[in-house]
């Protein structure tokens, strides 16, 4: 069983998330376990406050170090992540690395203007889920939970969909289609109806390369194409140009 320990001032935010869909099923099957830690339980003043004004002035409040240090004493068995826009940008390879942990994964959701730096330094890692600012770390924690969970055995039905997904190979996934064959005058690419698995696989690789080049040139530049992939990419480019895709 993989355990997530979520440190949050708002554990109620996670209740529908933990109970719905694939995550809910994985909890039922005892593949996943969630433990919630409310930082206020480590505050000893009468208002159970965990924040204070920042030294040096400035807007907002900062989470104080004392409750965090006390809480960390109780989770020494865990790999400890602080979610923060100041962290390292989170990627699929981080998800794979965290999914292979052999200890609970603790996700600390910040609030207010952030966390006293002396407490930040106690974490094993700082993760940002993107170059934007959320009100709190809860949504970021959910993003990490979902991306890690779907890599664990038994969480999603078909593991093939994980290995073919965007980023797993360094590329974005190819375009997908479902019924009907013609919708709003747009037809599903002929090759996908052919039943020829080799040609379909090649078409998908070509489209995956084409899409990555257009949408994420940074990933495309890092990707080393084989000779076959170069041909498939050129073919996809030509088909797109000729309108025969
Ligand atoms: N003042 C902070 C800054 O400029 O970096 C932002 C604090 S934000 C309002 C409150 C909390 O939301 C953060 O402590 C963090 O836990 C979480 N958070 C916000 N954006 C995030 C992001 N992109 N990735 C991960 N966590 C984020």
Reported as a single tens digit per residue, the pLDDT across 195-216 is: 999 999 999 999 999 999 999 9
pTM of the predicted structure, to 2 decimals? 0.94
**Statement: residue 130 has pLDDT above 90:** yes
Per the domain annotation, does 158 fall within a domain? Answer: no
Per the domain annotation, does 71 fall within a domain? Answer: yes
The Å distance, Cα 14 to ligand 1 centre, comes to 18
pLDDT band at 223 (very low <50, low <70, confident <90, very high): very high
- Of 60, 73, 66, 6, the closest CA to residue 33 belongs to 6
Residue positions counted in the chain:
245
The Å distance, Cα 135 to ligand 1 centre, comes to 7
**Statement: residue 161 has pLDDT above 80:** no
For the CA of 115, the closest atom of ligand 1 is 14
Q: Which residue shows structure tokens 């979902």?
A: 146
CA distance 230 to 210: 11
CATH number at residue 170: 1.10.1270.20
Q: Give the pLDDT confidence of 54-69 residue by residue, as tens digits.
A: 999 999 999 999 999 9
Q: Whole domain around residue 186: which residue ranges?
A: 164-242
238 or 159, higher pLDDT: 238
pLDDT of the residue at 245: 66
Per the domain annotation, does 156 fall within a domain? Answer: no
Mean pLDDT of the chain, nearest integer: 96
Whether residue 90 is found in the same domain as residue 137 = yes
The Å distance, Cα 120 to ligand 1 centre, comes to 13
Per the domain annotation, does 15 fall within a domain? Answer: yes
Residue nearest to atom 26 of ligand 1 (CA): 84
Mean pLDDT calculated for residue range 89-108: 98
Q: Which residue shows structure tokens 């995550």?
A: 23
CA distance 204 to 234: 13
Per the domain annotation, does 108 fall within a domain? Answer: yes
For the CA of 136, the closest atom of ligand 1 is 12
């Amino acid at each position: 069983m993989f355990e997530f320990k979520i440190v949050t001032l708002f554990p109620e935010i996670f209740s529908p998330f933990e109970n719905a869909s694939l995550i809910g099923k994985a909890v039922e099957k005892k593949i996943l376990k969630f433990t919630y830690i409310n930082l206020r339980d480590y505050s000893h003043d009468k208002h159970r406050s965990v924040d204070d004004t920042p030294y040096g002035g400035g807007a907002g409040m900062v989470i104080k170090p004392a409750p965090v240090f006390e809480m960390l004493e109780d989770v020494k068995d865990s790999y400890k992540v602080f979610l923060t826009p100041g962290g390292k940008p989170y990627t699929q390879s981080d998800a794979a690395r965290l999914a292979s942990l052999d200890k609970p994964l603790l996700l600390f959701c910040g609030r207010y203007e952030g966390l006293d730096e002396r407490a930040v330094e106690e974490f094993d890692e700082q993760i940002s889920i993107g170059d934007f600012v959320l009100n709190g770390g809860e949504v970021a924690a959910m993003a990490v939970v979902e991306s890690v969970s779907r890599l664990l055995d038994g969480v999603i039905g078909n593991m093939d969909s994980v290995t073919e997904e965007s980023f797993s190979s360094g590329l974005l996934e190819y375009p997908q289609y479902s019924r009907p064959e013609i919708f709003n005058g747009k037809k599903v690419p002929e090759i996908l109806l052919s039943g020829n698995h080799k040609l379909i696989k090649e078409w998908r690789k070509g489209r995956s390369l084409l899409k990555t080049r257009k949408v994420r040139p940074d990933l495309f530049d890092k990707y080393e194409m084989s000779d076959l992939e170069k041909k498939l990419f050129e073919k996809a480019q030509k088909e797109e140009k000729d309108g025969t895709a």
